[in-house]
Amino acid sequence: MGAGVGQARGARTRGQGQGLRPMSEINVTPFVDVMLVLLIIFMVAAPLLTVGVAVELPETNAPPLPNAQEEPLTVTVDAGGGFSIQNQPVPVAELLPKLAAIRAAREDDTIYLRADAGIDYGRVSWLIAELNRAGFLKITFVHDQPAGGLPEGEDAG
């Protein structure tokens, strides 16, 4: 019995009854492709899902909540001893009435104090007392951060 010209001994073909052996490896490429597509879809869709529920709110006469984002109020003492509220120069005689009027209109009782480094301490102390009389209880001092720590000639001890 002779073998066919193109067939090796013991080789299987489809026509001999047993068929080909099943593949024992799993092809994960299509699985990875599908997972990457799903990842992109969820990355695009996730921000769209954070939108709140549409509700028609009732109307009331209640006052709005205080605005926590009020513009910071700044009082400045310049090198000549003059005063400014925000960027507007204010004479000394008008300082307390203007501060009291501003405090009455504001929710926040925080004020930022800027004073020239060469100004007399007594002048700054007087201004702090006037700020307290006007109703500002939270006084924040504005300063620059020195480059090397303490100013020249000063000791930490």
**For residue 56, what are its two tokens?**
């028609």
How far CA 121 is from CA of 12, 24, 104, 127, 151, in Å, comes to 104, 88, 28, 10, 17
pLDDT value, residue 34? 94
Span 103-112, pLDDT tens digits:
888 888 888 8
Give me the residues paired with residue 7 across strands.
none
Instruction: Return the exposure string of 89-119: e unless at least 16 CB atoms fall within 10 Å of the residue's CB, then b.
Output: ebeeeebeebbeebbeebebeebebebeeee
How far is the C-alpha of 140 from the C-alpha of 107, rounded, in Å?
A: 16
Contact call for residues 96 and 130 (beta carbons, < 8 A): yes
Give me the residues paired with residue 76 across strands.
84, 114
Contact call for residues 78 and 84 (beta carbons, < 8 A): yes
How far is the C-alpha of 97 from the C-alpha of 115, rounded, in Å?
A: 20
Span 45-72, pLDDT tens digits:
887 766 544 545 556 676 765 555 667 8
Span 8-39, pLDDT tens digits:
555 555 555 567 877 788 888 999 999 999 99
82 has a pLDDT exceeding 60: yes
